Structure 1
Amino acid sequence: MEEYFLDKYQSKTKIELQRIVDNKEHYQPDAVLAASKLLYLRLNEKLPQILGDSVNESKGENIKVDRISLSFDYHPFFRTLSYREFLTSISIALFYLAVFEIIDYYSDERFFEDSQGTWKWFTLLLVFLINHILYRFEHNRSNNLIGRSINDLFLLVSIFLIRSSYALIVDISYDFSVDASVMGVVLVLFILPFFIFAFEIGVGILKYLLKIIRCQIF
């Protein structure tokens, strides 16, 4: 059975193999052992010890992995990139904009009168987390830092395009022009990616805490 997994996992990246080893309780012992051997070959280090009662075939030190490099490995994301990511982003964007319009519609109510901005920001953060959770369920694996950031960008673009199209339809005088000034270029190229990465670092910390309590949902 181990040979089957060795052949099956040949195309997996280092980060995917490491996730199998880190989450060995979700895989068959032979699958974990095969992933460990392949990871050992990729990293050119000693064969790791597989912890647990079900697997005792190998002994040695745990593999030392450069997790920073793995976090910026974009290959796993693009290798599985398909129409699902775009459809999911569009669906979540439509959901967010629907909630956005509901909050605007009830802005005169006491519940939203002084807190509608807070609710809009909270909903925006929530839909980004939902985006990551759906990615895990669609791909049966977590996304790394660079993958989550690219996915965030897809969602942001979807929200912007749908919101702009809606405004263009309901208001013919809507200005669709984009300011191409130097500050506009700086905002798009530097400030926006900075906020995305800052947000994803926070998400990474949350993900680590959830993993500690065995409640990893994305």
Structure 2
Amino acid sequence: MEEYFLKKLERLPRHELQRMVDNPADYQEAAVRAASKVLGETEPPVMEQSPGVPYIDDEEEERNPYHSSFYIQPYFRSLSHRDFLSSFVLALLYLAIWQVLAFYAFPLYGLDSLLAILMFVLVVITNHAFYKIEHKRRNNYIGRVFHTAIFMVFLIILMELFEYFTFGNVEVDVSTNSPILTVIIYVIMIMMAEVALSIVRRVFKLIGWRIF
């Protein structure tokens, strides 16, 4: 595998190779070793980490918050079936719990919307925590937006399928908003929710909770 990367990386400019060496958590280990050899280094830099704690690069965020929060390349570079599977399972779990509460006529006392939002926040945080465990690094803001969007797509599809298999039809109301406007509204909602979660993450960080 390293030989393969050596042939591929020989054509890259030096600054791209240096970026790989400086950010080893964003690349495969064989690719980092190959980049180090191309640059003439003997060994790639060692990632410092505490025992049992995944490596998280928070230093770059402190130096350049805009770059680290809106740099999307690491997310799509490491995107795999595991991310889709975890989002699908959590969307299924959310729908299942909600339907169980509805089936047993859980006394919500008018707080059903608040409970739905609270469940959504907890599931999204869990989804981000799974991402951190799977990729050994935390996701940045724009990556979390895309990750939550994937979860929302699965959740909407599962809700529509549930309606279809339960009632035999799916009613889509497009009289008020066009599909494009609906998508834009959902995107804005997700971005605002992730801004709020970014604040929550920083509060957790201050008290030593690096959950996501």
Global fold match (TM > 0.5): yes
Whether contact under 8 Å (2:163, 2:169) holds in the other structure is no
Amino acid at match of 2:50: H
> Separation in 1 of the partners of 2:209 and 2:165?
43
Q: Render the CA deviation track for 1:28-80: whole Å, top value 9, x for unaligned.
A: xxx9xxx9xxx9xxx9xxxxxxxxxxxxxxxxxxx972211221111111111
> Separation in 2 of the partners of 1:197 and 1:121?
15
> Separation in 2 of the partners of 1:101 and 1:77?
32
Q: 1:70 to 1:14 in 2, by over 3 A?
A: farther
> Separation in 2 of the partners of 1:198 and 1:135?
20
Deviation at 1:174, TM superposition (A): 2.6
SS at match of 2:108: helix
Amino acid at match of 2:100: I
Matching residue of 2:85:
87
Q: 1:99 to 1:116 in 2, by over 3 A?
A: same
Residue 207 in 1 paired to residue 201 in 2? Answer: yes
Whether contact under 8 Å (1:148, 1:200) holds in the other structure is yes
Amino-acid identity (%): 24
Whether contact under 8 Å (1:210, 1:216) holds in the other structure is yes
Amino acid at match of 1:100: W
Residue 187 in 1 paired to residue 196 in 2? Answer: no
Deviation at 1:13, TM superposition (A): 6.8
Deviation at 1:212, TM superposition (A): 1.9
> Separation in 2 of the partners of 1:201 and 1:106?
35
> Separation in 2 of the partners of 1:152 and 1:13?
28
The answer to which structure, 1 or 2, has the higher relative contact order (CA under 8 A, 6+ apart) is 2
Whether contact under 8 Å (1:72, 1:146) holds in the other structure is yes
Counterpart selection for 2:141 from 141, 145, 148:
145
TM-score normalised over the length of structure 1: 0.67
Matching residue of 1:98:
96
Amino acid at match of 1:119: L
SS at match of 1:97: helix
Residue 125 in 1 paired to residue 121 in 2? Answer: yes
Aligned-residue CA RMSD (Å): 3.3
> Separation in 1 of the partners of 2:92 and 2:22?
33
* Structure 1 gap segments, 5+ residues each: 1-8, 18-22, 44-62
Q: Render the CA deviation track for 1:91-132: whole Å, top value 9, x for unaligned.
A: 00010000110121132x4x3243233222211111111111
Q: 1:213 to 1:12 in 2, by over 3 A?
A: farther
TM-score normalised over the length of structure 2: 0.69
Residue 26 in 1 paired to residue 70 in 2? Answer: no
Residue 167 in 1 paired to residue 191 in 2? Answer: no
Matching residue of 1:5:
none
> Separation in 1 of the partners of 2:67 and 2:173?
36
* Structure 2 gap segments, 5+ residues each: 1-17, 27-46
Whether contact under 8 Å (1:103, 1:120) holds in the other structure is no
Q: 1:182 to 1:165 in 2, by over 3 A?
A: closer
Matching residue of 2:11:
none
Deviation at 1:24, TM superposition (A): 4.8
> Separation in 2 of the partners of 1:13 and 1:81?
21
> Separation in 2 of the partners of 1:145 and 1:113?
35
Residue 155 in 1 paired to residue 136 in 2? Answer: no
